Structure 1
Amino acid sequence: MKNLRSLPKYGGKKTAATTVVIGAFLLTGCAAANDSPSATSASGAEILVENGLEGLDVRELVETLDAIPLDDRTETLTTSITAEMVTLTDQHEHATEVRLPSDEIYVSVAPYRSQTHDCYYHSPTGCLGELRNADVAVTVTDATTGETIVDEELRTLDNGFVGIWLPRGIETSISITHDGQTVTSELSTVGDDAQTCLTTMRLV
């Protein structure tokens, strides 16, 4: 497998996208709410080493995984991000879990125009969105205080998603604009089972 550490990070912690159904690959790439993975082996450190991911902090790990180009995806590594941790599993079902920061959650959002799929927990190496490598404007507002948390011009990753680091324990409103079309949705970061993959935002 190619060394993932050399992969580009396309805008760091915030990037944007859309989700399209492309056969069974797309449908199986994302996880439902009851599909939270768990580690099955203590050999997890080997997974990081074998995939060139050792030495990365959790932010760097998540962003590097999410920025893997589609052409570099491999069946030997699967990943999932819950509100609590990122899990990596190899072809032998060995897994390792890296806990996310205590004050932040990583949420991947995929606005779409024509097709989407169900997703609750984001898989950087499995999920696929409709708007790949597209320029978008992203605004996230605290629904309680009205404070603007994110207001940036971003670019979607090659997997068609935008990844956003947000404070834990809040209710937000997120708006995404692309090519004259806009969509707004509620987004919660409350609780250990908070959603990390939002695929219900249709641009109109």
Structure 2
Amino acid sequence: MNRKRTLFAAAVSALVLTGCAGQSGGTTSTAPSTASPAPSAPASAAPQTSAAARTLLSAYGLTGKDAVQIIDHLDRLGGAERPADLKASVRPGELALSGGGQEVVLPLPADRFYLSVAPYTDRTHECFHHSLTTCAGELAGKDMQVTITDAASGEVLVDETRTTFANGFTGFWLPRGIDGTVTVAYGGRTGQAEISTGQDAPTCLTTLRLA
């Protein structure tokens, strides 16, 4: 039993560490290395009811929230509002939480994929799995026009003005298993990036430069 617990903790820790780490202003870059949710965010499975899950969720004021609600809450925080000792990594199919000596993995909706986007003009950072408590984009609190299009069908999935969160990102719940294009316009600049929502796709987009 102890061996199983050790393996589980190690696996979750590995998940958490794959996102942004301690980003404040990003790394100055004009050619980065590749590496608010949509209005009707999907419902997800209820949080685990294990003692470890209850302890961790309670410690960070997340009791009663499912994975979708936790992502929505944490991704909107910035600066001192963020819980300094909580790690929260968004994976394609799950949310990994770690803090206070506890680790919890919560499932995401089977048909939805959460993509967090941080457009930039001068500064960015590498990211693959979005960290809800450490990732920080350059342009916080900015109104941007965002269009997301399904490459196969041509369907426009998103066409709206978004205000980036305090962390410089804005998040979208998209259909799982598609390829598409994100186009962002802000301050007379535009940028575009290709995206995927497959099981091995990044949940963090920091390579969309506005020029």
TM-score of the pair, normalised by structure 1: 0.78
Partner of 2:208: 201
Say whether 1:123 aligns with 2:120: no
Question: 2 CA distance for matches of 1:121 and 1:178?
Answer: 25
CA-to-aligned-CA distance 1:96-136 (integer Å, 9 cap, x gap): 11111000010011111111111000001010000001101
Q: Please list, as runs of the form range in 1=range in 2, the aligned pairs for 1:28-177 lying within 5 A after superposition.
A: 43-92=52-101, 94-177=102-185
Question: 1 CA distance for matches of 2:115 and 2:105?
Answer: 17
Deviation at 1:70, TM superposition (A): 1.5
Question: 2 CA distance for matches of 1:76 and 1:178?
Answer: 34
Where relative contact order (Cα < 8 A, 6+ residues apart) is larger, the structure is 1
Q: Match of 1:80, as an amino acid?
A: S
CA-to-aligned-CA distance 1:157-180 (integer Å, 9 cap, x gap): 000001111000000111011111
**CA contact under 8 A between 2:114 and 2:171: conserved in structure 1?**
yes
Deviation at 1:78, TM superposition (A): 1.1
Deviation at 1:57, TM superposition (A): 2.5
Count of paired positions: 170
Deviation at 1:69, TM superposition (A): 2.8
Bigger Cα Rg: 2
**CA contact under 8 A between 1:42 and 1:96: conserved in structure 2?**
no
Question: 1 CA distance for matches of 2:67 and 2:23?
Answer: 25
| Counterpart selection for 1:26 from 13, 23, 27 | 23
Question: 1 CA distance for matches of 2:132 and 2:84?
Answer: 13
**CA contact under 8 A between 1:139 and 1:174: conserved in structure 2?**
yes
Q: Match of 2:70, as an amino acid?
A: L
Q: Match of 1:184, as an amino acid?
A: Q
Unmatched runs of 5 consecutive residues or more in structure 2? 1-19, 27-33, 36-49
Aligned pair in 2 of structure 1 residues 91, 50: CA closer, same or farther (>3 Å)?
Answer: closer
Give me the identity figure in percent: 42
**CA contact under 8 A between 2:56 and 2:100: conserved in structure 1?**
no
Question: 2 CA distance for matches of 1:182 and 1:42?
Answer: 48
Misfit runs of 4+, over 2 Å:
none
CA RMSD of aligned residues (A): 2.1
